[in-house]
Amino acid sequence: MAIQLTDNVSPAARRDILDLEQKISSFRAGDIADEAFRKFRLTRGVYGQRQPGVQMIRIKLPHGRITADQLVRIADLSDKYATGNLHATTRQDIQLHFVKLADSPQLWAELEDAGITLKEACGNTVRNVTGSARAGIDPLEPFDITAHAYHIFDYFLRNPICQDMGRKFKISLSSSEKDSAYGYMHDVGLVARIQDGKRGFKVMLGGGLGAQPFSAQTAYEFLEEDRVIPFIEGVIRVFDRYGERQKRHKARMKYLLNDIGLDELLRRVEAETPALKNKTVEVNDLPASVGELYPDRSEVSNYQPNVGPASSENPRFTTWFRTNVFEQKQPGWYAVQLRVLLGDMHSDTARALAAIVKQYAADDIRVTVNQGYLLRFIRPEDLPAVFEALDALGLANPGFDTTADITTCPGTDTCNLAISSSYGITRALESMMHDEFPDLVFNDDIKIKISGCMNGCGQHSVANIGYHGSSLKNGAYVLPALQVLLGGGFNGKGEGLIADKVIKIPAKRGPDSLRYLLRDFEANAFDGEYYSDYYARQGKNYFYQLLKPLADLKTLVDSDYIDWDHTEQYVTEVGVGECASVLIDLVATTLTEAAEKLGWAREALAEGRWADALYHAYNVFITGARAALMSHDMPTNTQHGIVSDFDKTFVGSPSQGEPGFHRAEGDFKHLVFSINKEEPSAEFATRFLAQADAFLQTVQAHREKQLEREGAPELQELTQAQDS
């Protein structure tokens, strides 16, 4: 059945959707290698699940912002194509699970009709741009960062410089010095500041989580706002050129920064300046496509409440108001925060929530980094009615973003990489705290975060108390385990810290571990002491000894061999791949990829997008050179390394009866890296593209002669790799 596309779908999105449909058809016919298809679909937000034959669809919501109608559209599509569940993530996305691969193009088309995209939600791209959910209403903010988040999102969406990076790239914007968007764990973290009357940002670089978490380094204490996007572009161009591409676990920008140092990285970024599409980018307001964020502005500025927040005799309302509601910077207006267990919301609940928003709030819902939702511009007299309506939906639980509100990833419920259950232990911990530590709904100093593995989707490394899924061996048996991490998050000085791994314990002892930690803190912490400061004062060994009895495997019982939310004995396993391995000619596949990039370069040139044409042409050189090196069984890695190796290997002297590609060593490098020596222009783009075209033709001819001489190549086996 043909994809149904409405007039609301942009030409760029239309082509993406039809391309996805065509690639799915080719993949099913066996014409595309599994690994190549995996790489393709990930950049379209289609992610393989643990369960065979179904996908997770990640919906990219810049800054976590969504309208009521968009929420309804996602809920309806979850009913139609998924399970009726909407999962909010720590990157302010919404995910749908158990979607058939064949349904993903039409699902995408129906999202684009409502102004929502999947493009670059996964894969080695610039991922969703996250930001403080309170932006625009935050009493502590120097200015509203919402427009900046949208402009950064728009600037890098479908941008040639970030379509084929070695790894993903993450950007966040925090509205105040509290760094509520966790800039210190991002590739680029921005914190809003005003200096000498000018708006700008503190800029942090090279943060990241995973098996080896790094805190970001400060590149600028203050960078004027119109220079931020060009600076990020320069950083991405450097990361694309010099970043690791073979050793996946070393391919994040944090490792490049660690290898070459901040000064050298900034020098290389500066060297990219001539090639930048824009030297400055003004951010004065939201893109026209976004629409209005607030109620009528005169209504906001002129509103004078006759009374303060309406009271209620219901003690649950009082607790909810204390923990989930705050007054905005706009006098007399209030915001309401929704605590959502596991980040999961049923489609019926989402539609009912949208109706509440339309009746009582601004059409501006924000998904929060702790997997909740924030509603804005609510009149104080409406708060009791809002509470009652939310309470009927199960969305008025107190304790938003407190100790009792745990952040978690889906774990083994759906993820290929997860080792143990995240959802099950989260329920167990929240239940224990509700029963034994009820006052924790008022404590917003201790954050608990859980991931199903070390990769950190639940952000356990920046928690005061964190857990990630693992396993333990006891003789011939394996049991589910939790790695306990302590001391991350923010300390009393507002500094962002990375947690220490302290001890690994059986997963079923997770509630006991948290019980020990909370009771110890209650008994021994100084009055007003932050948990991470308390951890630093006591030291890692103190907590290791505190929890050591829980790690004793001599006291195991039968239930310890069964994971949370399961009844069968635990076994470690990797999720099932989506299909069998295939045999392909890797060089031919790479040359086809280069030809495709040449087509993109020609299209950009025809449309007058000189900078885009130049970067696509640059990638033709890189991909063609990689194919030539592969044809001689030479390993390839960074783009810079590919150019250098090609320059040395294919220099002018005849090789096996064929002429070289260039006369002297250094010629090829000089040609390719001339991309950042001139301003983007029609003349330069036309010349550079013609040179890339001629180069690719030469590589293709070289390969044809090689095959005539040596015969058909030995086909290479490619099998399913893990998504991330």
DSSP per residue, 194-253: EETTEEEEEEEE--B-SSS-BPPEEEEEEEEGGGHHHHHHHHHHHHHHHS--SSGGG-SH
Return all residues near 28 (Cβ < 8 A) that are at least 6 apart: none
Residues 211 and 304 grouped into a single domain:
no
Residues 416 and 548 grouped into a single domain:
yes
Q: What is the mean pLDDT of residues 276-300?
A: 78
Q: What is the mean pLDDT of residues 257-282?
A: 97
Q: Where a domain ends, among 220, 243, 275?
A: 275
Residues 628 and 546 grouped into a single domain:
no
Q: What is the pLDDT of residue 657?
A: 45
Residue 221 has pLDDT above 70, yes or no: yes
Q: What is the pLDDT of residue 578?
A: 34
Q: Residue 287's pLDDT band (boundaries 50, 70, 90)?
A: confident
**Does residue 176 fall inside a structural domain?**
yes
Q: What is the mean pLDDT of residues 32-40?
A: 84
**Does residue 686 fall inside a structural domain?**
yes
Per-residue pLDDT reduced to its tens digit, 311-326: 667 899 999 999 999 9
Q: What is the mean pLDDT of residues 12-35?
A: 91
**Does residue 397 fall inside a structural domain?**
no
Comparing CA positions, the residue from 188, 127, 185 lying closest to residue 156 is 127
Residue 462 has pLDDT above 90, yes or no: yes
More confident residue, 718 or 85: 85
Residues 593 and 555 grouped into a single domain:
no
Q: What is the pLDDT of residue 222?
A: 98
DSSP run (H or E) holding 321: helix 315-324
Determine contact, residues 191/183, Cβ cutoff 8 Å. yes
Residue 577 has pLDDT above 70, yes or no: no
Q: What is the mean pLDDT of residues 69-89?
A: 97
Residues 494 and 640 grouped into a single domain:
no
Helix, strand, coil shares of the chain as percentages rounded to 5? 45, 15, 40
Determine contact, residues 479/472, Cβ cutoff 8 Å. yes
Q: Residue 418's pLDDT band (boundaries 50, 70, 90)?
A: confident
Q: Residue 432's pLDDT band (boundaries 50, 70, 90)?
A: very high
* DSSP sequence for 125-170: SB-PPEE-TTTTT-TT-SS--HHHHHHHHHHHTT-GGGSS-SS-B-
Q: What is the mean pLDDT of residues 433-445?
A: 94
Least confident piece of the model among 313-322, 410-419, 459-468, 576-585: 576-585
Q: In angstroms, rounded to a whole number, what is the distance separating the alpha carbons of residues 605 and 616? A: 10
Comparing CA positions, the residue from 113, 38, 114, 47 lying closest to residue 82 is 47
Q: Residue 455's pLDDT band (boundaries 50, 70, 90)?
A: confident
Residue 724 has pLDDT above 60, yes or no: no
Determine contact, residues 212/190, Cβ cutoff 8 Å. no
Determine contact, residues 347/86, Cβ cutoff 8 Å. yes
| Token couple for 545 | 């000894």
**Does residue 40 fall inside a structural domain?**
yes
Residues 374 and 439 grouped into a single domain:
no
Residues 191 and 329 grouped into a single domain:
no
Return all residues near 351 (Cβ < 8 A) that are at least 6 apart: 71, 72, 75, 76
Q: What is the pLDDT of residue 13?
A: 96
| β pairing state of 217-224 and 198-205 | antiparallel
Q: In angstroms, rounded to a whole number, what is the distance separating the alpha carbons of residues 241 and 328? A: 44
Q: What is the pLDDT of residue 191?
A: 98
Q: Where a domain ends, among 82, 112, 142?
A: 112
DSSP run (H or E) holding 451: strand 448-451
Residue 576 has pLDDT above 80, yes or no: no
Q: Residue 3's pLDDT band (boundaries 50, 70, 90)?
A: very high
Q: What is the mean pLDDT of residues 622-650?
A: 93
**Does residue 647 fall inside a structural domain?**
yes
Kindly report the CATH number assigned to the domain that includes residue 346. Answer: 3.90.480.20
Q: Residue 51's pLDDT band (boundaries 50, 70, 90)?
A: confident
Residue 349 has pLDDT above 70, yes or no: yes
Q: What is the pLDDT of residue 718?
A: 44
> Is the pTM value of this prediction over 0.75?
yes
Residue 677 has pLDDT above 70, yes or no: yes
Q: What is the pLDDT of residue 44?
A: 92
Helix residue ranges per DSSP H, 11-89: 11-28, 34-42, 68-81
The DSSP code for 462 is G
| Token couple for 704 | 């044809």
**Does residue 571 fall inside a structural domain?**
no
Q: What is the pLDDT of residue 723?
A: 44
**How many distinct structural domains can be found in the chain?**
5
Q: What is the pLDDT of residue 514?
A: 98
Q: What is the mean pLDDT of residues 10-23?
A: 95
- Residue 140: CA count within 13 A, CB half-sphere: 13
Q: Residue 581's pLDDT band (boundaries 50, 70, 90)?
A: very low
C-alpha pair distances (Å), 84 with each of 28, 44, 351, 515: 27, 21, 11, 35
Q: In angstroms, rounded to a whole number, what is the distance separating the alpha carbons of residues 365 and 11? A: 27
**Does residue 301 fall inside a structural domain?**
yes
Amino acid at 317: F
Q: For the chain, give the percent of residues with pLDDT over 70.
A: 92
Residue 709 has pLDDT above 90, yes or no: no
Residues 482 and 354 grouped into a single domain:
no
What does the mean pLDDT of the chain come to? 91
**Does residue 117 fall inside a structural domain?**
no
Most confident of 132-141, 412-421, 560-569: 132-141
Comparing CA positions, the residue from 170, 183, 189, 140 lying closest to residue 496 is 183
Q: What is the pLDDT of residue 34?
A: 82
Q: How many CB atoms lie within 10 A of CB 15?
A: 11
Least confident piece of the model among 141-145, 444-448, 591-595, 705-709: 705-709
Q: What is the mean pLDDT of residues 456-479?
A: 93
Query: Which single residue is written with the structure tokens 């810049």?
Result: 62
Q: What is the mean pLDDT of residues 363-372?
A: 96
Kindly report the CATH number assigned to the domain that includes residue 661. Answer: 1.20.120.330
More confident residue, 350 or 315: 350
Q: What is the mean pLDDT of residues 215-231?
A: 98
Helix residue ranges per DSSP H, 332-382: 347-360
Amino acid at 260: I
Q: For the chain, give the percent of residues with pLDDT over 90.
A: 79
| Token couple for 143 | 């200015």
φ/ψ of residue 19, rounded to 5: -65, -40
DSSP β-bridge partners for residue 641: none
| Token couple for 151 | 């402009």
How remote is the C-alpha of 235 from its chain's centroid? 17
Q: Residue 31's pLDDT band (boundaries 50, 70, 90)?
A: confident
Q: What is the pLDDT of residue 289?
A: 67
Determine contact, residues 222/195, Cβ cutoff 8 Å. yes
Q: In angstroms, rounded to a whole number, what is the distance separating the alpha carbons of residues 9 and 424? A: 40
| Token couple for 360 | 């009582």
Q: What is the pLDDT of residue 579?
A: 32
Q: In angstroms, rounded to a whole number, what is the distance separating the alpha carbons of residues 593 and 639? A: 15
Residues 193 and 310 grouped into a single domain:
no
| Token couple for 477 | 């048996």
Residue 720 has pLDDT above 60, yes or no: no
Residue 182 has pLDDT above 90, yes or no: yes
**Range of 97's domain?**
11-112
Q: Where a domain ends, among 367, 392, 417?
A: 392
Please work out, in degrees rounded to the nearest 5, the angle formed at the alpha carbon of residue 216 by the alpha carbons of 214 and 221.
165
Residues 108 and 137 grouped into a single domain:
no
Per-residue pLDDT reduced to its tens digit, 57-66: 999 999 999 9
Kindly report the CATH number assigned to the domain that includes residue 157. Answer: 3.30.413.10
Residues 528 and 628 grouped into a single domain:
no
Residues 70 and 152 grouped into a single domain:
no
Q: What is the pLDDT of residue 714?
A: 57
Q: What is the pLDDT of residue 654?
A: 47
C-alpha pair distances (Å), 137 with each of 134, 193, 227, 688, 705: 6, 16, 25, 48, 66
